Amino acid sequence: MARNKYDIDEELEEEFDFGQLKRLAKYVGPYKKDMIKAIVIMLLSSALSMLIPRFFMTIMDVYIPEGNIKGIVMLSIATMAIVVFVCASLKTKIILTNRVGQNVIYALRRDLFVHLQELPFSYYDDRPHGKIQVRVVNYVNNLSDLLSNGIVNTITDLCSLIFIILFMLSINIKLTFVCMCGIPILAVLIWTVKKKQRRAWQIESNKQSNLNAYIAESLNGIRVTQSFVREEVNQNIFNGLSSDYKSAWMEAVRYNMMLSPIVDTISVLTTSMVYVLGINWMIGGEAAITAGVLIAFTGYISRFWTPITTLASFYNSLLTSISYLERIFETIDEPVTVKDEEGAVDMPIIQGAVEFENVDFAYEDGIKRLDKVSFRANTGESYAIVGPTGAGKTTIINLLSRFYNIQSGKILIDGIDISKVTIRSLRKQMGVMLQDSFIFSGTIMDNIRYGNHEASDEEVIRAAQIVRAHDFIMAMEQGYSTQVNERGSRLSQGQRQLISFARALLANPKILILDEATSSIDTETEIMLQEGLAKLLKGRTSFIIAHRLSTIKSADCIMYIDKGKIVEMGCHEQLMKQKGEYYNLYLSQYSFLA
């Protein structure tokens, strides 16, 4: 899962590791009592149902010739009682197995989601979110039938098959072997198509993942699509991906559907052989074969092939589920590269001194984004970071928040190497507002409180007032209780940024990070915002990335970054006197604004 495109398949070249099934079994372990109950009930039900053909044989060969009406009535009542018990057992099994199956699916999906929460930014940088989502929802759901019915049915059907064979052998050994002669043929056919069937379901899961990725991308970009009139082009892409998925599905199902007619054909052939040979042997005077024996065998033959058909169906379900299980465990096994080191301790209460010592960093593309970067920010100072696009500005704040691991060097806060403390204790004391002002579905109050669940309503309102979001919030139909949609589609970009700003401020951070915090705010609002920020930033260490140089003129220090290096560093007046890169940038922007 290493390529970020909706039209590229995610390949799994390895042979299936049956250890994955053992891992799945561990999820079933906590519910083994329910599984054992279901298996015992179904085995007892199966064993009792095996008596019914024997009852018919006794009636045909003994009670009818003897005219024993009482015996016929008693066996008929016994047959009815067995049927009632079988129905009740089936109901109990359905309840137990579905409960187990859904509990396992819940646990599996929980572990998958929890692991996704821990994976670093680098994991999501390379993957369409739709391809991740399909694993949490669709792939886990596709295991439902296997977990709810497949395991119990397989065990009980295997035992039922043994019961049937034993009953058949007790009646007539020769006819039993005639009935079983089709099994080797079936085994060879299953083995022949096994690899192709698994491969077909792998391809199907790839195409489903691709389609899901494109749907997610298209929905997220629907405004751009309609703005550039791309509907027809996107529809053609969607139709192509959907067609690929349909073809892959039909190919996979074709292999699944092969087994059922094969089993039916072998069943009909062996049944015919039992009749032909049985009648010939009976006409030939073989005493062990009577009309009752043939009737009993007729009942057992249908029962004999029913569990084999079920087992073949389980085999199909297993191969289908394996293709999904591989993807699920592949995601769970994805290493968490940004994590607490062994022996990591909680970060003490931060005062705010930040230092970079010869920090090198490159993303997975191998291109250096920071090259021997060193600087020191004292407690309470505001540091502005400017420079051309791709220079490494956002990378600096990402590393300070430990969203990525550095290749070499050190990042210190209050003299403590941040790689030696727990990530949670570090981030809890930092307020971060990234370029993507993400708004979650829920109320405005919930969104501002997202980073500080213990904050009171008054504290939320105070944070909104400081960033000048209070007025537009109160103008909405329900004020702070107004429901907003995912990604804040009801709000303007500027409003989303102000809410995100309030969220970051409410966390009461010792270090505040603002990445393009005012890029979508109008000039008038920006002036008011600066007034509130001046109070808030006092005594806090802050890092501000901004393309609007007017917003960072009052910063204690401005760093001009280019090609991963600090080119210039100083306050606004100092850098203007140097007439270097910052000076040129400021003049070009000022001329443009003028």
DSSP state for residue 137 in the 8-state scheme = I
Which stretch of 12-26, 330-344, 569-583 has the lowest confidence by average pLDDT? 12-26
CA 142/CA 431 separation, integer angstroms: 40
- What is the structure's pLDDT at 533? 65
CA 178/CA 270 separation, integer angstroms: 7
pLDDT tens across 370-388, in order? 999 999 999 989 999 998 8
For the residues of 563-583, what is the DSSP string, one character each?
TTEEEEEE-HHHHHHHTSHHH
Q: Hey, is 230 helix, strand or coil?
A: coil
Strand duo 382-386 + 430-433: pairing: unpaired
pLDDT tens across 480-490, in order? 998 887 666 67
User: Is 80 exceeded by the pLDDT of residue 551?
Assistant: no
Calculate the alpha carbon distances from 586 to 111, 234, 551, 572, 576 in Å.
Answer: 50, 41, 12, 10, 8
Position 412 confidence tier, pLDDT thresholds 50, 70, 90:
very high
User: Is 50 exceeded by the pLDDT of residue 42?
Assistant: yes
| Rounded average pLDDT over 286-296 | 75
Which stretch of 70-74, 204-208, 312-316 has the lowest confidence by average pLDDT? 312-316
Strand duo 511-515 + 430-433: pairing: parallel
Strand duo 557-562 + 416-417: pairing: unpaired
| Rounded average pLDDT over 15-29 | 77
| Residue length of the chain | 594
- What is the structure's pLDDT at 594? 43
User: Is 70 exceeded by the pLDDT of residue 281?
Assistant: yes
Residue with tokens 């109990």: 92
Handedness of CA 393, 399, 405, 411 (dihedral sign): positive
CA 502/CA 447 separation, integer angstroms: 9
Which one is predicted more confidently, 177 or 17? 177
User: Is 50 exceeded by the pLDDT of residue 593?
Assistant: no
Position 2 confidence tier, pLDDT thresholds 50, 70, 90:
very low
Which one is predicted more confidently, 496 or 589? 496
Residue of 326, 328, 334 lying closest to 15 (CA atoms): 326
- What is the structure's pLDDT at 73? 92
CB of 9 closer than 8 Å to CB of 210: yes
- What is the structure's pLDDT at 334? 87
User: Is 50 exceeded by the pLDDT of residue 3?
Assistant: no
59, two tokens:
């009636």
pLDDT tens across 444-484, in order? 998 889 878 888 999 999 888 888 889 889 998 889 998 88
Each domain of the chain, given as residue ranges in start order, spans 19-332
- What is the structure's pLDDT at 559? 93
User: Is 60 exceeded by the pLDDT of residue 14?
Assistant: no
Position 192 confidence tier, pLDDT thresholds 50, 70, 90:
confident
CA 582/CA 584 separation, integer angstroms: 5
- What is the structure's pLDDT at 518? 63
pLDDT tens across 226-245, in order? 777 888 888 898 898 899 98
| Rounded average pLDDT over 308-322 | 73
DSSP state for residue 484 in the 8-state scheme = E
Position 191 confidence tier, pLDDT thresholds 50, 70, 90:
confident
- Tell me the pTM: 0.70
Which residue intervals of 418-456 are DSSP H helices? 423-427, 444-448
CB of 147 closer than 8 Å to CB of 104: yes
- In the chain, what percentage of residues exceed pLDDT 90? 18
Which one is predicted more confidently, 14 or 577? 577
Most confident of 10-24, 198-212, 490-504, 560-574: 560-574
Q: At a CB cut-off of 8 Å and minimum separation 6, what does 293 contact?
A: 57, 61, 171, 172, 175, 278
DSSP state for residue 342 in the 8-state scheme = T
CA 6/CA 25 separation, integer angstroms: 33
- What is the structure's pLDDT at 230? 82
Compute the mean pLDDT over every residue in the chain, rounded to the nearest whole number. 82
CA 152/CA 154 separation, integer angstroms: 5
For the residues of 524-553, what is the DSSP string, one character each?
HHHHHHHHHHHHHSTTSEEEEE-S-GGGST
User: Is 80 exceeded by the pLDDT of residue 204?
Assistant: yes
User: Is 60 exceeded by the pLDDT of residue 550?
Assistant: yes
Edge-to-edge strand order for the sheet containing 368-377?
368-377, 354-362, 408-413, 416-417
CA 153/CA 98 separation, integer angstroms: 12
User: Is 80 exceeded by the pLDDT of residue 98?
Assistant: yes
Q: Hey, is 26 helix, strand or coil?
A: helix
Position 535 confidence tier, pLDDT thresholds 50, 70, 90:
low
Phi, psi of 558, rounded to the nearest 5 degrees: -120, 130
Q: Hey, is 426 helix, strand or coil?
A: helix
pLDDT tens across 295-308, in order? 777 777 777 777 77
Q: Hey, is 156 helix, strand or coil?
A: helix
179, two tokens:
């009935």
93, two tokens:
């099994």
- What is the structure's pLDDT at 538? 73
| Rounded average pLDDT over 319-324 | 73
| Overall fold of domain 19-332 | ABC transporter transmembrane region fold (1.20.1560)
pLDDT tens across 44-82, in order? 888 888 788 888 888 888 888 888 899 889 999 999 999
